[in-house]
Structure 1
């Protein structure tokens, strides 16, 4: 922190275009320039506070000081989150809805997910051996869509796999895009909710019987604070809010393959079936490569923090990528070093690729454990179960495109199953 009582202020009438132009580096570059973990700016014509680092993250996730209602831009709500979704709730309503998500994260459910992922990876790998080359990112989206639907109890006909994969992918690929891509995401959100909403109505009418404790079952029967059954549209939003993030792990899978290619010295450490090191590797992929750049909230009521004033209703953005690369928190943050997680104290505020804070009562992503497990299964296949060649390609990734991913999608050639 700068130690100043007056928060540093960025000059200019509005910095929205700068944020879009600079992407992941917009907040980190200004934090370095101001030598402060907080600064004021103007976004979308209104005052905003940008913040990053461990202490600022702890402040950001204080429910007495910040709220999520009304914080996310409507264009993001209408694509990425869905209207009425858990990410937009606060207080007891949020805790009640979040409890339904957390019930799905019990160890037995994650073990079932691992089993499904294993079988789907085997099936995909057998198909890939019959092809000259694949683009891993594109294949991973379909693979994860299949895994997500099977695990969530959502019926997925073979002839609709491609359509549903494209719809779910558009929700995170084009959420902050402009023009035709954005409207594609809006259409995809409507189609996905209509599809899932129809399934929920079938469950409620006794025509469809998903496994008990599956996502489709839980949200088809979920009751809100007043005891009323969740309306069909919002229930569909929440089911999609399981399917969409699992499909989005495809970005991490592309970066996982990229990490294995860029840092080949890691492979011998991952062939020993050392589950601890595999987890360190997965966590370092999540820390090192870009995923979400930042997340938003609004100041709940006026308050002072370290002599700096926070005004009710002000938008606040928490720097996720910059916090994961903060040199005050991570030694040599621009080096890929999985071993760093051997000593990590598991703070909920310094390693925040999918948000921070408490899982049960806060807004930290309920699916973080799922992400880690799916990535671990993928590492095992890429290192121990498959052999493949990596042809010459553009493996660079942009720090301005959101979300970022390897430009080639990571091409793999001559894939073979190991004996």
Structure 2
């Protein structure tokens, strides 16, 4: 193929820009676990399923440093972030995150979010609400307080919105990427200045909080810019849960009996959250670079190849998830398998790149489900999802009319509803 225009059109990057979440499924045929493509002109191997996950997380075969294109990595993760590290340096930084985001952190954050949600939703009955916007504010204000970042409510809401803008830009959709670049620069300056203020005694966050520990505790040896980046790498993913929680709310609206079936059992709420993460469209793939020859299925991987883990295809792998397009929370009566369920990365969290913030995501979705199940939620506009945009949301951020009772449904355009696909970020 010598036609330059044809080469561009065949490039996976172009397909993702044009087709969004529908781009990767078109690259597969049958039950193959590996296939080849080109991404930004480089030979790229797509992998999926548990076999693909094991290869992708084999540190002797795949590394992360330099794998994510700089225009994306710098905006989403920030320069010097844990996501782009390998080997001993990654293990040290990852260990710090695991210490910071421990069980007490998760419990404090979930408790704060639950309290905030109870307070905010008390005013919802009889109102018309945009679920996504409300959740961005709730999660943002909550994580800032728990992290030890003391701000007024308007200032906290502004930071939350800025963090959401950064997440919204990772798919290079229209002007969203440009907005993300501008907000990322602003947030980097704000976070680095905040760390410096703590180190110079101008700000005194409560001891033991995330900001205190990153500035003068475990993160004291990090440059203020990098410590600020890692602070944002806790704040930003927390706000990003608003995307998944909006899809959780959509499912409760479209399935009027679901809220009643979930009841007040937290285990059911957790299982529902797992299933939402499995099916709701978010990040389509994770990427690495091949450093040692390997073979998967019928495909040889060569040093220098880019390798993409197709997260949606893995999370809907029929051998792992029978009837994969059906929403069935009961699939997760037990904890998910780390090699077949990968919405926020796969493998072992301590030794590999699985996201250390995943327990927080699980807890926030469960707490949000608890609150939403007690509301009478009805669609006030279409719940249509545009799968050509990355990341995507129900139209309008899911506009709902909240009644006085429990949940119901009145979708103006049920025939436009489409099943989604989920992915996440790892570290």
Matching residue within 250, 254, 262 for 2:254: 262
Matching residue within 57, 60, 65 for 1:61: 57
Partner of 2:117: 121
In 2, Cα distance between the equivalents of 1:222 and 1:48?
Answer: 41
Matching residue within 79, 93, 96 for 1:97: 93
Q: Match of 1:318, SS?
A: strand
Matches within 5 A, 1:276-287: 276-287=267-278
Contact 1:359 1:365 in 2 (8 A): yes
Matching residue within 165, 168, 172 for 1:170: 165
Tell me how far 1:83 sits from its aligned partner: 0.9
Partner of 2:266: 275
In 2, Cα distance between the equivalents of 1:195 and 1:127?
Answer: 32
1:37 counterpart = 2:33: yes
Matching residue within 21, 26, 39 for 1:24: 21
Tell me how far 1:191 sits from its aligned partner: 0.9
- Deviation per CA, 1:160-212: give whole Å up to 9, x if none: 13321221011110122255321211111111111111111111112322233
Q: Are the structure 2 counterparts of residues 179 and 280 from structure 1 closer, same or farther at C-alpha, using a change threshold of 3 Å?
A: closer
Tell me how far 1:298 sits from its aligned partner: 0.5
- Deviation per CA, 1:244-276: give whole Å up to 9, x if none: 0000110111111111112222222222x2222
Tell me how far 1:402 sits from its aligned partner: 1.0
Tell me how far 1:34 sits from its aligned partner: 5.4
Matching residue within 332, 346, 354 for 1:356: 346
Tell me how far 1:81 sits from its aligned partner: 0.9
Q: Match of 2:204, SS?
A: coil
Contact 1:133 1:415 in 2 (8 A): no
In 2, Cα distance between the equivalents of 1:260 and 1:362?
Answer: 34
Mark the runs of 5 or more structure 2 residues left unpaired by the alignment.
1-6, 407-427
In 2, Cα distance between the equivalents of 1:12 and 1:142?
Answer: 39
In 2, Cα distance between the equivalents of 1:182 and 1:288?
Answer: 25
In 2, Cα distance between the equivalents of 1:336 and 1:48?
Answer: 31
Equivalent pairs, count:
400
Partner of 2:212: 217
Partner of 1:73: 69
Partner of 2:388: 400
Partner of 1:88: 84
TM-score (norm 2): 0.88
TM-score (norm 1): 0.90
Q: Match of 2:46, SS?
A: strand
Tell me how far 1:36 sits from its aligned partner: 1.3
Contact 1:69 1:88 in 2 (8 A): yes
Contact 2:262 2:269 in 1 (8 A): yes
Matches within 5 A, 1:224-239: 229-239=221-231
Q: Match of 1:290, SS?
A: coil
Q: Are the structure 2 counterparts of residues 11 and 144 from structure 1 closer, same or farther at C-alpha, using a change threshold of 3 Å?
A: closer
Matching residue within 328, 332, 341 for 1:337: 328
Partner of 1:7: none
Matches within 5 A, 1:370-409: 370-384=360-374, 387-409=375-397
In 2, Cα distance between the equivalents of 1:333 and 1:277?
Answer: 19
